[in-house]
Amino acid sequence: MGQYGFNTTLLHGIDNTDPFGATHVPIYQSSAFRHESAEELEQIFANKAMGFSYTRINNPTIEAFEKRIAKLEGGVGSIACASGMAALTNAILNILQSGDEIVAGCGLYGGTVELFDELESFGITTRYVKENVSQEYETLINDRTRLIFAETIGNPKLDVTDIAAVAQVAHAHGLPFMVDNTTATPYLIQPLKLGADIVVHSSSKYINGSSNAISGVLIYGGKFKWDAQRYPGIKPFLKFGPFAYLAKLRNGLFRSMGACLSPQNAFLNNLGLETLGLRVERQCSNALKLAEYIKSLDTGVAVNYPGCPDSPYHELAKKQLHGGYGAILTLRAGSKERAFGIINALKLPLIVSNIGDTKTLVIHPASTIAAHLSKEAQRESGVYEDQIRISVGIEDIEDLKQDFKNAIEKEV
pLDDT at site 165: 98
pLDDT in tens, 338-367: 999 999 999 999 999 999 999 999 999 999
pLDDT reported for residue 10: 87
pLDDT at 169 over 90: yes
Over residues 164-188, mean pLDDT: 98
Mean pLDDT, residues 31-44: 92
Residues 217-244: what's their mean pLDDT?
Answer: 97
Asked whether residue 16 carries a pLDDT value surpassing 90, the answer given is no
Residue 377 Cα distances to 108, 205, 304, 353, 374, angstroms: 10, 24, 19, 19, 5
Residue 2 pLDDT > 70? no
- Rounded Cα distance between 137 and 129, Å, is 6
Place 3 in a pLDDT band, splitting at 50, 70 and 90.
confident
Q: Cα-Cα-Cα-Cα dihedral of 388, 311, 276, 90, to 10°?
A: -80
Say how far apart CA 247 and CA 372 lie, in whole Å: 35
Contact 216, 200 (CB under 8 A): yes
- The answer to whether residue 1 scores a pLDDT higher than 60 is no
Window from 44-48, 75-79, 256-260 with minimum mean pLDDT: 44-48
Distance between CA 259 and CA 216 in Å, rounded?
10
Give residue 88's identity as a one-letter amino acid code: L
HEC letters along the chain: CCCCCHHHHHHHCCCCCCCCCCCCCCCCCCCECCCCCHHHHHHHHCCCCCCCCECCCCCHHHHHHHHHHHHHHCCCEEEEECCHHHHHHHHHHCCCCCCCEEEECCCCCHHHHHHHHHHHHHCCEEEECCCCCHHHHHHHCCCCEEEEEEECECCCCCCECCHHHHHHHHHHCCCCEEEECCCCHHHHCCHHHHCCCEEEECCCCCCCCCCCCCCEEEEECCCCCCCCCCCHHHHHHHHHHHHHHHHHHHCCHHHHHCCECCHHHHHHHHHHHCCHHHHHHHHHHHHHHHHHHHHHCCCCCEEECCCCCCCCCHHHHHHHCCCCCCCEEEEECCCHHHHHHHHHHCCCCEECCCCCCCCCEEECHHHCCCCCCCHHHHHHCCCCCCEEEEECCCCCHHHHHHHHHHHHHHCC
Q: Tell me the mean pLDDT in the region 36-56.
A: 89
Residues 166 and 104: beta-carbon distance below 8 Å: no
44 has a pLDDT exceeding 90:
no
The mean pLDDT of 165-185, rounded to a whole number, is 98
pLDDT attached to residue 412? 67
Whether 275 has a pLDDT exceeding 60, the answer reads yes
Q: Which of 196-205, 241-250, 315-324, 370-379 is the least confident region?
A: 370-379
Summary mean pLDDT of the chain:
94
For 12-26, 172-186, 189-203, 243-257, which range has the lowest pLDDT when averaged over its residues?
12-26
- Beta-ladder partners of 78: 219
Q: What is the pLDDT of residues 102-145, one digit of tens each?
A: 999 988 998 999 999 999 999 999 999 999 999 999 999 999 99
Mean pLDDT on 295-321: 96
What pLDDT was estimated at residue 345? 97
| Euclidean distance between CA atoms 226 and 244, whole angstroms | 9
pLDDT, position 398? 98
Identify the pLDDT of residue 129. Answer: 95
What CA–CA distance (Å, rounded) separates 283 from 278? 9
Average pLDDT of the residues in 249-260: 94
Give burial (CB, 10 Å; 0-12/13-18/19+) of 53: middle
Contact 9, 17 (CB under 8 A): no
Antiparallel, parallel or unpaired: β 101-104 and 77-81: unpaired
**Cα–Cα dist 189/109, whole Å:** 19
Q: What is the pLDDT of residues 370-407, one digit of tens each?
A: 888 888 888 888 899 999 999 999 999 999 999 999 99
Query: Residue 316 pLDDT more than 80?
Result: yes
Closest Cα to residue 107, out of 401, 387, 348, 393?
387
Q: At 265, which amino acid appears?
A: N
